């Protein structure tokens, strides 16, 4: 078509060339916009989700006139507790449990038995639908969240560290702690052995989510962070499952001091944890089906015996392959 116009003398080559260049410059921004439009749409959708989260109201709140708790003794009672994540899909239905002050309780059971749900309710991460959880005779829903959680220490299987220094992460739960208290906590869980090999010591940057540290190092820091708050109730959610044998030995030695004179609830993953517990409960489908000491439960030969042989027996020093 352009050649025909040139032959007829209606236009010339320069005009045609300029026309083509103008067309290209006109469509270039449109092509760029089309390329980035999917990313723009995804970004807007993410932004809307962020706004939804920021505008959402938490289900767990402090009561209008909360009780400010200074120090808890640690006597815990679960009474007829009902809880579900989805309506009518009950995790606990009429659940009852008493944990005495200073008792070391270990919880075992298959995946989905309700172990983590139990400690999450105690930490008030979720609101239960019925019954009560009382500590020292006071319903935890009547306590202010801040004062209640100051009495709780929690070390989870997946440790969350903030971008910052080792010291900042340890001080997170008690930022006004003295240097003396800080070093007592550090030495109690052998973090001092970790930091002495680091060039910047306590000022070492851990990276986002502790990416510059190993799993064992992050776990030790989380223990020091929990210990610094001096909690009366300590929750360990499979806290030694991701560490090597040497680090576990260090942690187990430190736990003897850490757990003394404290009420502790441990989701057991290691044999050493259940052997050191005052009482073991076996959960199945949100109910306690067995409880007692390691020796008494093993002698009974019930569900605990099956779980022990399946998950824990091979960790024993006396275990040999092929034995039962």
Domain tally, the chain: 2
One domain, residues 163 and 250: yes
Q: Is the pTM of this model over 0.95?
A: no
User: How confident is the model at residue 83, as a pLDDT?
Assistant: 92
Q: What is the DSSP string of 154-170?
A: EE-SS----SSBHHHHH
One domain, residues 228 and 106: yes
- Residues 263 and 233 sit within 8 Å (Cβ to Cβ): yes
Instruction: Assess whether pLDDT exceeds 50 at residue 319.
Output: no
What is the chain's percent helix, strand, coil content, to nearest 5?
45, 20, 35
Domain of 206 in residue numbering reads as: 102-126+135-315
One domain, residues 45 and 106: no
One domain, residues 38 and 162: no
- Residues 272 and 250 sit within 8 Å (Cβ to Cβ): no
Condensed to tens digits (0 to 9), the pLDDT of residues 6-26 reads 556 566 666 767 777 777 777
Supply the mean pLDDT for the chain: 80
One domain, residues 140 and 16: no
Condensed to tens digits (0 to 9), the pLDDT of residues 177-190 reads 888 888 888 887 77
One domain, residues 141 and 40: no
CATH of the domain at 261: 3.40.50.300
Q: Is residue 44 included in any domain, yes or no? A: yes
One domain, residues 215 and 114: yes
Condensed to tens digits (0 to 9), the pLDDT of residues 80-111 reads 999 998 888 899 999 999 999 888 898 988 88
Q: Is residue 297 included in any domain, yes or no? A: yes
- Residues 190 and 218 sit within 8 Å (Cβ to Cβ): no
One domain, residues 38 and 160: no
One domain, residues 7 and 115: no
């Amino acid at each position: 078509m352009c050649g025909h116009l040139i032959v007829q003398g209606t236009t010339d080559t320069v005009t045609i060339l300029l026309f083509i260049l103008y067309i290209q410059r006109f469509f270039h921004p449109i092509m760029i916009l089309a390329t980035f439009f999917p990313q723009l749409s995804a970004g807007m959708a993410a932004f809307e989700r962020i706004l939804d989260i920021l505008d959402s109201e938490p289900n767990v709140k402090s009561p209008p006139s909360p009780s400010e708790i200074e120090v808890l003794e640690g006597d815990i009672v679960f009474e007829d507790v009902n809880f579900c994540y989805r309506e009518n899909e009950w995790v606990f239905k009429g659940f009852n449990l008493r944990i005495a002050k200073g008792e070391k309780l270990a919880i075992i059971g298959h995946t989905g038995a309700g172990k983590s749900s139990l400690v999450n309710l105690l930490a008030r991460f979720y609101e239960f639908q019925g019954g009560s959880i009382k500590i020292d005779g006071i319903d935890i829903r009547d306590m202010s969240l801040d004062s209640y959680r100051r009495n709780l220490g929690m070390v989870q299987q997946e440790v969350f560290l903030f971008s910052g220094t080792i010291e900042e992460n340890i001080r997170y739960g008690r930022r006004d702690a003295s240097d003396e208290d800080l070093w007592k906590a550090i030495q109690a869980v052998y973090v001092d052995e970790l930091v002495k090999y680091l060039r910047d010591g306590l000022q070492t940057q851990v990276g986002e989510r502790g990416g510059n540290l190993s799993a064992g190092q992050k776990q030790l820091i989380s223990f020091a962070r929990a210990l610094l708050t001096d909690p009366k109730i300590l929750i360990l959610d499979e806290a030694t499952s991701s560490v090597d044998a040497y680090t576990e030995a260090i942690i187990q030695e430190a736990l003897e001091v850490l757990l003394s004179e404290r009420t502790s609830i441990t989701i057991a993953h290691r044999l050493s944890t259940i052997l050191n517990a005052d009482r073991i409960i076996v959960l199945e489908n949100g109910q306690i089906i067995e409880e007692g000491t390691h020796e008494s439960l093993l002698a009974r030969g019930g569900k605990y015996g099956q779980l022990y042989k399946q998950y824990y027996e091979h960790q024993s020093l006396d275990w040999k392959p092929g034995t039962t």
